[in-house]
Structures are given as structure tokens and as C-alpha cells.
């Protein structure tokens, strides 16, 4: 068995936290030494203020990142609010006739107190949660449902969404014909709309094709590209997919780029080489900026619609490998790229697969056609 871990990213993450902790301790020590008269007051004050400001900036950036990743960002927000209240209280208790220096010291104490509260809250909230990637559950409806049925399905997902952790990003990808109606049904919810394919060209005489700009105009945020069914039945090659990716990015759509081997390739032990080639031939052509806006879906062809699922260990093994291949080109940014598992994923097996370190959610086919099952898969992420 091969081992490809993302330990180095985790270690970097832990190191960053340790640096932040050290900064906070330095703030306390500098403040204490200047209060105790060991350091000249001006020096203590300057260090104190600088470090406290730096610590706050760092915390604010982290909180913003968490908010955009929707990973308990509101908890961080409230810890900031609590810290702000504590700071306000310290300032409020300053005597009326306080000198400028006394007020200055109060402000420093307030910043320190607020920073400490936030840092403690932050560490409690995110203890043992180094993975900052987006959690995604995307439904690929394929060529199923009539438009009215699709609308009912979307409404069902919207209705039950509140029961699932808000940290999960839901996406539904109906057929082209349903997009505008489903967009309407999703209005006011946080469920994103995606398409299952897009044209390789921007516009023109391409009968039967649908341009990425048209999808964006209907409210799509995502587009599935390179699904094995399109590679297999419609002869999609890496050359075509490169053009489709360009179209997606040109229209602000996030591609959900699918990779995966067939049964023969798996049995011949070629699965690593197959996904590597699928990534190298397409993803490696992206700019760093584009790569930051990419979702990968690993879908072993032998598991799609067959009821056969990859084991959680198999999924983790190849997801970690995919991340390693991504890191070879994009470095640390690979740690941020969501990699979804697809292939007979259902409520009964989602939690076990999603618990794996490098699995960031699922691209769901059959089980996405029932709102209850789709939502139950979302519950596979521990709150």
C-alpha cells in the first residue's frame, strides 16, 4: 500500500498556530515587563502595541478565511464580539481624569485582553481541526427528472437544508433544460447551482452546444467537466477539456473536474497513473489563480452506478495521491483544493468516506435524486 499523506500541510498549519501562540505570549511578557519596570515604559508600550496589532491582524485573516470556507466562521465572529465587549469594558473603567498615558495603557490592555480571549476561543473551536478545505456535497442529476420533478427535488433540498451543518456547501447540477427553473427554486437558499457540462467554444455555429456564458447567465456557479460518462460516451479528450476549462474560468464558473480509472485499469494497478495523467494533461495547464478556484472529483468508473463503492481506505489512498500530484505543480495551494469522492456514495457509507483526511465531500449521482438521501449524505460530515 502506498502512503501519500498531507502531513506537511498539517504541520505547517500547526506551526503557524504555534507562532501565533508565541506572539501572544510575547505580548503578555512585554506588557508584564514594562508594567514591572524591567523594560522602559516606552519600549514595553511600543512592543506591546505592535505585537498585539500583529496578533490581531493574523487572527482577523484567519477568521476571514474560516468565514469564507464556512467552517464555524460565526463562532469566530462571536468570539471576536465577546473580545470586543471585554475591550470596551476595560476602556470604560478608565477613570474620568485619566492622563493620556493611562488611557494608552488601557487601550493596550484592552487589545491584549481581547486578543487573548479570541485566541483562546479560536484554539478551543478549532482544536484538532487543521483541515480548512471547503466541505462539498454536489448532486449530479445526470439525464434524470423532468423539469417539474427537478423543481420539486430542488425545493425538497431547500426545505431540509437547515437540518444539515451550515459548514457543508451543497451544489445541485440538473440538466440544462431545468437550470432556470431550479435557479428560481434555490433562490434565497445557500445551495449553489451547477451544470453538468459546457461547450468548448465561447459562441457561434455549434448546434446543440451550451456555452459557459449562458450557464453563468442562468446563475450557475459550478460546472462538472470531464465526467467519465462524457469521456467514455462522447469522446471527450484532454484537448477538449482544456478548452472547456478555459471557458468555465472565463465566465467565473468553478469547474468540478472529474478523474478516475475504469475496472480494467484498477485491476492492472494502473489507477495512480491514470489519474495522474488526467491531472497533468488538464489541471497542470491552469494558472495558480485558476487553480485556487477548482474542485476535483475522484470517481472510479467501476463504482459509478454499480452499487460498488471504493472503501474509505481506497478513497483516502488515491485522494492523498491526487493531492500530492497537485502539490507537485501548485505547491501549498494543493492543501486547499477540495477533492470529492463519487461512485455509489449514499447515506449509509458517506460518513465513513468523508471522515478520511483527504476526502472533502462527494459528487453524488443516484442518491442525489431523492432530497432526503442527498441531505442525509450531507449529514455525513460531523458537526
Long-range contacts of 3-8 (CB under 8 A, 24+ apart): 3/317, 3/320, 4/317, 4/320, 4/321, 4/323, 4/324, 5/320, 5/357, 6/320, 6/323, 6/335, 6/357, 6/358
Instruction: Give helix then strand counts, H and E, for the chain.
Output: 15, 8
Kindly state the cell numbers that stand for 74.
Answer: 460565526
Question: How far apart are alpha carbons 369 and 157 in whole angstroms?
Answer: 10
Q: Which is nearer to ligand 13P, 299 or 336 (CB)?
A: 299
Site for ligand 13P (CB under 6 A): which residue of 115, 342, 378, 380?
Answer: 342
Least Cβ distance, residue 363 to ligand 13P (angstroms): 4
Q: Supply the minimum distance, in Å, between the C-beta of residue 380 and ligand 13P.
A: 13
In eight-state DSSP terms, residue 369 is G
Among the residue ranges 31-39, 351-359, 362-370, 375-383, the one whose residues contact ligand 13P (CB under 6 A): 362-370
DSSP conformational letter for 66: H
- Does 197 contact ligand 13P by CB under 6 A? no
Q: Which of 79, 109, 118, 140 binds ligand 13P (CB under 6 A)?
A: 140
Work out whether 226 is an interface residue with ligand 13P (CB under 6 A). no
For the chain, percent helix, then strand, then coil, each to nearest 5? 60, 10, 30
Asked whether position 109 contacts ligand 13P by CB under 6 A, the answer is no
Identify whether 149 is a catalytic site residue: no
How near is the Cβ of 233 to ligand 13P at its closest, in Å? 12
Give me the least distance between CB of 369 and ligand 13P, in Å please: 9
Q: Is 364 in the site for ligand 13P (CB under 6 A)?
A: yes
256, 297 contact by CB (below 8 A): yes
Binder to ligand 13P among 305, 311, 328, 355 (CB under 6 A)? 305
Give the range of 39-47, 70-78, 104-112, 340-348 binding ligand 13P by CB under 6 A: 340-348
Question: What is the distance between the alpha carbons of residues 256 and 197, in angstroms, rounded to a whole number?
Answer: 10
Catalytic: 227? yes
349 HSE (CA, 13 A, CB side): 20
Residue numbers annotated as active site: 227, 299
Binding positions for ligand 13P, rule: CB under 6 A: 140, 227, 299, 304-305, 342-345, 363-367
Amino acid at each position: 500500500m502506498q502512503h501519500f499523506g498531507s502531513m506537511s500541510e498539517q504541520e505547517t498549519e500547526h506551526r503557524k498556530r504555534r507562532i501565533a501562540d508565541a506572539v501572544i505570549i510575547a505580548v503578555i511578557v512585554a506588557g508584564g515587563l514594562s508594567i514591572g519596570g524591567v523594560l522602559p515604559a516606552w519600549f514595553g508600550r511600543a512592543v506591546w502595541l505592535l505585537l498585539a496589532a500583529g496578533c490581531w491582524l493574523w487572527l482577523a485573516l484567519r477568521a476571514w478565511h474560516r468565514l469564507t470556507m464556512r467552517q464555524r466562521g460565526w463562532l469566530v465572529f462571536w468570539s471576536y464580539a465577546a473580545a470586543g465587549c471585554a475591550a470596551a469594558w476595560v476602556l470604560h473603567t478608565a477613570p474620568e481624569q485619566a492622563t493620556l498615558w493611562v488611557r494608552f495603557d488601557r487601550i493596550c490592555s484592552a487589545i491584549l485582553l481581547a486578543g487573548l480571549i479570541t485566541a483562546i476561543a479560536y484554539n478551543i473551536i478549532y482544536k484538532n481541526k487543521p483541515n480548512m478545505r471547503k466541505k462539498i456535497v454536489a448532486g449530479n442529476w445526470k439525464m434524470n427528472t423532468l423539469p417539474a420533478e427537478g423543481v420539486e427535488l430542488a425545493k425538497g433540498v431547500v426545505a431540509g437544508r437547515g437540518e444539515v451543518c451550515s459548514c457543508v456547501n451543497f451544489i445541485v447540477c440538473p440538466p440544462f433544460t431545468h437550470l432556470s427553473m431550479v435557479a428560481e427554486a434555490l433562490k434565497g437558499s445557500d445551495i449553489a447551482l451547477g451544470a453538468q457540462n459546457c461547450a468548448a467554444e465561447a459562441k457561434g455555429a455549434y448546434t446543440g452546444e451550451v456555452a459557459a456564458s449562458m450557464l453563468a447567465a442562468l446563475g450557475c456557479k459550478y460546472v462538472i467537466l470531464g465526467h467519465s460518462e462524457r469521456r467514455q460516451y462522447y469522446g471527450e479528450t484532454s484537448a477538449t477539456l482544456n478548452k472547456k476549462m478555459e471557458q468555465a474560468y472565463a465566465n467565473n464558473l468553478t469547474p468540478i473536474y472529474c478523474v478516475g480509472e475504469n475496472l480494467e485499469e484498477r485491476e492492472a494497478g494502473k489507477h495512480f497513473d491514470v489519474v495522474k495523467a488526467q491531472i497533468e494533461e488538464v489541471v497542470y495547464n491552469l494558472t495558480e489563480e485558476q487553480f485556487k478556484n477548482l474542485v476535483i472529483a475522484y470517481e472510479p468508473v467501476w463504482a459509478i452506478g454499480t452499487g460498488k463503492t471504493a472503501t474509505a481506505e481506497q478513497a483516502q489512498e488515491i485522494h492523498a495521491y491526487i493531492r500530492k500530484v497537485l502539490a507537485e505543480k501548485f505547491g501549498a495551494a494543493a492543501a486547499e483544493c477540495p477533492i470529492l469522492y463519487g461512485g455509489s456514495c449514499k447515506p449509509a457509507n458517506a460518513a465513513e468516506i468523508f471522515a478520511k483526511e483527504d476526502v472533502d465531500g462527494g459528487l453524488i449521482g443516484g442518491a442525489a435524486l431523492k432530497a432526503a438521501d442527498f441531505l442525509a449524505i450531507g449529514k455525513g460530515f460531523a458537526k
